[in-house]
Chain A
Amino acid sequence: MTSTPRHRSFGQIFLIPAIMALFVAFGLVSALLGDGIWDALSWFCLLVPVIAVAYYVGRRRSRRRTV
């Protein structure tokens, strides 16, 4: 189903965001229901989207500089 090399299917586009959504949902609820280790787990899970954003913003910046 790849008519052009850049074409991506619905599943390919949303697989990673869906996994990140699971992490975030777990992180939001875990800190709500428990303390200690659950808080730490929630910090880790909620950092996932933050790190993803930081990574792609950083990559775009450095690409711009070299081009």
Chain B
Amino acid sequence: MIAPWRNAPVPAKLASAQQAMETALAYAPGMKVSSIAMPGSLFAGGHHYDVFLHGDTPLTSKLLMPVMINAADGSFTESRELPWYAKVLFLSKPLHFGDYGGMPLKIIWAVLDVITLGVLGSGLYLWLARRRPARALERPR
């Protein structure tokens, strides 16, 4: 999205971040601001504010939508939906950390973790126990 602006001159005077945020919210009503990347930073390029919006349902609150705002005058430049693989990645984040679905789910998550640890531990024990008598038998030969 920022490639066409690679050689454009950097604006000498910036529009305010407040103005950038308001432009982005007007473009996508009902969404909330997640973060704003300042011009010149890693996520925005030299010529734009990048306002990251997210929705307010359990599903859409995990999905970010970047809105590029012209840093010189605070006007709307471009916005895109995330590609499907990025959506899947964002949606799977709570599956990795187990930090969703309220306290009962977190407790069940912890119990399942302990059960998994038990399977790992008992498997390791069985493997070691099987190797030991085999070595003991080899020695007399």
Residues of B at the A interface (CB closer than 8 Å) are 58-59, 91, 94-95, 100-102, 104-105, 108-109, 111-112, 115
Bound Cα distance A35, B100 (Å): 10
Q: Tell me the count of chain A residues lying within 8 A, CB to CB, of chain B.
A: 15
Looking at the assembled complex, report how far the CB atom of A53 sits from the nearest CB atom of chain B, in whole angstroms: 5
Main secondary structure of the interface of A (DSSP, over half): helix
Contact A43 B112 (CB under 8 A): no
Main secondary structure of the interface of B (DSSP, over half): helix
Residues of A at the B interface (CB closer than 8 Å) are 28, 31-35, 38-39, 42-43, 46-47, 49-50, 53
* Chain B residues positioned under 8 Å from A47 (CB to CB): 108
Contact B108 A46 (CB under 8 A): yes
A42-B101, A43-B104 known; A32-B112 Cβ under 8 A: no
Contact A32 B95 (CB under 8 A): yes
Contact B105 A42 (CB under 8 A): yes
Bound Cα distance A42, B98 (Å): 12
* Chain A residues positioned under 8 Å from B59 (CB to CB): 32-34
